[in-house]
Structure 1
Amino acid sequence: MREIVTLQLGQLANFVGTHFWNTQEEYFTYGSDHTSSASTNELDHDILYRTGVSPTGVETYTPRVLAYDLKGGFGSLQKYNQLFAAEAGDTANWDQGINKIVSEQYPKNAYQQQLERMDMDPNMEAVALDDKSVKTWSDFNRIYYHPRSMNQVTTHNMDDSINPYNTYSVGRQSYSDYERETESFEDNFRRFAEECDNLQGFQVFASVDDAFSGFAEGLLQDVRDEFAKTPILCYGLQSSSMPAPERSRQRVTLNRALTMTRIVDLCSSYIPLYTPSSRHIFNSGLSPYIQPNCNLLYHTSAILSTAIETVSLSYRTKSNFLSIGSLCDKMNGQGTTRLSGLSLTLPLPFLKEGFNATAEQFKDKIAPAIELSKLASVRQQSDHDVFAEDVVVRGLPRASVRASDQGLYDYTRLLYHKFPQADP
């Protein structure tokens, strides 16, 4: 079935991941609803999702994902949701009495409260999400997770100024302590991996500006020890806005450097990504089309998720399938280039006059794109400097060009002026 297990490590990674899974939920059709986009029928959802049965006998379809975050990082999201409520009530018999210590729960915002009411009454209208109400990734989450997906790192708390979770070494040690206490790798990760019929690889969203950089190394080391040859595609997620104190800036830079030198060796392909800043949006030429508030992680993580979700189409489609291993091999054609970059054009330029008019319009121009990796822009290099690349184009009208047409290749090459000539 070509399954993929997804790992999300840290706040930024879970913000990106929540956008990613919310998007997947939009592709689903329910009952007689066939109004969704054509991509609904083109995607193989079983690659990222797993089927199961809840304790009450209800069939479930949940993401094959393990999300890791600190205490307080999950917000209002509980380990046991409505689908798996019975598991939360399972307790062992004990005749000496039980003392419960319950911490104050994170309050649900109006959006989450309305989602709960809609579960009870599907005819209720959804409320708009107030951007300013989003404090953590659970505030805009719309899907149900399996209990094994929720992995709370109990060694540290969110926003703890006394014992901050901010250095690579702290993260590396916290992974060892966490595994010693919970055995999450054995109980959660291994179960997800071993239930796959034909595991094609792992995709990893890792926050690397804080201690989750070191946590990621520990986890990926265990993954590599168990799955020595299974492809691992890792997105190293970083913030464009650096902290003001010089010491903090140096610490973040060191975390990134250690990640680059240590995690790259554990991955088949490593793609460092930065949240876009206002300057990046303006310099890209996309400011007339998208106007995100780059001070809100809710907005900037959505752009990163859009880029990742588009790239991942290569290994999630039913036809024209390119496995995650083949994609990594393609990008690492020389055997020594595990580091890759990623750019995003949103939206893809296409004039209402049609394909030929668009090609004529852009024949002497380069399409606007956000360079999310801050690597040297390959668009400014000659064709022979491009070692390997994978291009995913979505949004073109079907009447204009088909994916199998040479015209699509010529069109994208014309837009970006960077693709090497196809072999005759």
Structure 2
Amino acid sequence: MLNKAQQYLHLTSQSVSFLSDFEVERGEVTYTPRLVLIDLKGSLNSLKQKGTLYEIPHEEEEDIKWSGDITMHKEAAPPKNKFLKELEEADGIQEKDSPSDSTESDEERSEKENSCKEVVERKHQKADDSHMSDHTLLDCDAMFKVWSDFLRIHFHPRTIQIIEEFQHGNEHLPFDVFGCGQEAVSGDTFINEWEDKLHFFTEECDNLEGFQILLDTHDAFGGSGAMLLQYLEDEFSSKGRLTFGVAPALLPDDTALLRAQRILNSALAYQKCSSFSSLFVPTSLATTLWRAMGPPIQFPYLQYKPIHYHTSAILAACIDTLTYPYRQVMAPFHLCDITNTFNSQGRKVIELSKYFTYD
């Protein structure tokens, strides 16, 4: 399986979705996604908003004019889980905040790197072993609470933007209404920051073909996505906009109020986002989203749990397959070629079917 993945990487043009840069401190070329990501406070967990790949200078403390006593309150950063710590050890990456041992010789560093490589090889071998214990899998399932808990790649410092008014998982002030999402991204401060991030990545493109957008449709992110899609249509009308509207496999859907809220959010998101997109692709592992949510899809050769850690990998494989034509090395398609092929009759909403074979 690992060899097949390596072959696939050689056939894929990484420059389409990734921005390359030379990282001076490490003396190597780094790759970060051409991505602007919007989420709520608390969703990053241990992930730094500016990332860990580049050395970001600490901002100078504000010159406070108050002459009285001042008490500073700082929130401690959440600790990294075991999975992320092992990834850092395997990559030989050291925390920026932790002091490095300047007396360590090149031979000692080399021995550590070789030891880390051996750890990675052993882990790959264990992952391919069909007799892997269920205990290890269950530990992973319980360990990951948000997407950043199992994030493998590094982000550019300009990638992440946080909606400060809402907290992830806050039951008292939930981010669950379409109009609330529109309002959250309509302020001048938010829009200006988002425009700066967006233009940074678009100006780094040699030939901008368009945008690939992923957004939730069942909550307020549908409203946020619709607002930002409208901006893209106004400012980049000649570029393709391929949008994936994602719904979880399971949601709290046991009351009429929750069902009505989800249906209204989804209906508004589908209508607005499809009108502002070149092509809109609803994606979910639920068998139906109307009216009550159906059970998760069953695949003949794939067993999974309806949690984000599992379902996101399945949906990522599907999206990766659909978008591969404009990322392939040999004779790549243009993004607009794909969107125009499917919406030739003016129908902007398509269905994405999923099937996994056994090899």
1:235 aligns with 2:205: no
Contact 2:250 2:286 survives alignment (8 Å): no
1:193 aligns with 2:193: no
Aligned-residue offset at 1:69:
0.7
Partners of 1:203 and 1:299 in 2: CA distance: 22
Change (3 A) 1:116 1:280: closer
Partners of 1:156 and 1:230 in 2: CA distance: 32
Partners of 1:226 and 1:83 in 2: CA distance: 31
TM-score (norm 2): 0.79
Aligned-residue offset at 1:96:
6.5
Contact 1:174 1:215 survives alignment (8 Å): yes
Alignment of 1:75-94 (within 5 A): 75-85=45-55, 87-91=56-60, 94=63
1:290 aligns with 2:302: yes
Aligned-residue offset at 1:104:
3.5
1:142 aligns with 2:152: yes
Matched AA of 1:47: V
Runs (5+) with no aligned partner, structure 1: 1-25, 27-33, 351-424
SS in 1 for 2:213: strand
Partners of 1:260 and 1:164 in 2: CA distance: 21
Aligned-residue offset at 1:183:
2.1
Tell me what 1:398 maps to. Answer: none
Post-superposition CA distance 1:252-306 (Å, at most 9, x none): 1001100111111110000011134695533xxx33x111012x11111111111
Post-superposition CA distance 1:188-237 (Å, at most 9, x none): 11111122110011001101111000000111111122101210000000
1:175 aligns with 2:185: yes
Change (3 A) 1:227 1:99: farther
Aligned residues: CA RMSD:
2.6
Tell me what 2:20 maps to. Answer: 51
Contact 2:248 2:308 survives alignment (8 Å): no
Aligned-residue offset at 1:35:
9.0
The one of 191, 206, 211 equivalent to 1:202 is 211
Partners of 1:102 and 1:53 in 2: CA distance: 33
Matched AA of 1:203: Q
Tell me what 1:62 maps to. Answer: 32
Partners of 1:61 and 1:38 in 2: CA distance: 19
Alignment of 1:7-18 (within 5 A): none
Partners of 2:26 and 2:78 in 1: CA distance: 30
SS in 2 for 1:38: helix
TM-score (norm 1): 0.67
Partners of 1:82 and 1:238 in 2: CA distance: 30
Change (3 A) 1:133 1:84: same
Partners of 2:271 and 2:4 in 1: CA distance: 47
Alignment of 1:87-126 (within 5 A): 87-91=56-60, 94=63, 101-120=73-92, 121-122=112-113, 123-124=115-116, 125-126=119-120
Contact 2:285 2:297 survives alignment (8 Å): no
Contact 1:51 1:60 survives alignment (8 Å): yes
Post-superposition CA distance 1:67-102 (Å, at most 9, x none): 1110001121112333212x2424378587997542
Aligned-residue offset at 1:167:
0.3
Contact 1:80 1:88 survives alignment (8 Å): no
Post-superposition CA distance 1:142-201 (Å, at most 9, x none): 111101111111121112222211000000000113x52472222211111122110011
Change (3 A) 1:181 1:297: closer
Once the two structures are overlaid, the 10-residue window that deviates more, 337-346 or 313-322, is: 313-322
Matched AA of 2:341: K
SS in 1 for 2:155: coil
Partners of 1:310 and 1:181 in 2: CA distance: 33
Partners of 1:70 and 1:95 in 2: CA distance: 29
Partners of 2:53 and 2:154 in 1: CA distance: 8
SS in 2 for 1:81: coil
The one of 312, 316, 339 equivalent to 2:349 is 339
Runs (5+) with no aligned partner, structure 2: 93-111, 124-135, 288-293
Contact 1:69 1:152 survives alignment (8 Å): yes
Once the two structures are overlaid, the 10-residue window that deviates more, 128-137 or 322-331, is: 128-137
Partners of 1:306 and 1:241 in 2: CA distance: 19
SS in 2 for 1:205: strand
Contact 1:50 1:62 survives alignment (8 Å): yes
Partners of 2:206 and 2:261 in 1: CA distance: 42
Contact 1:75 1:137 survives alignment (8 Å): no
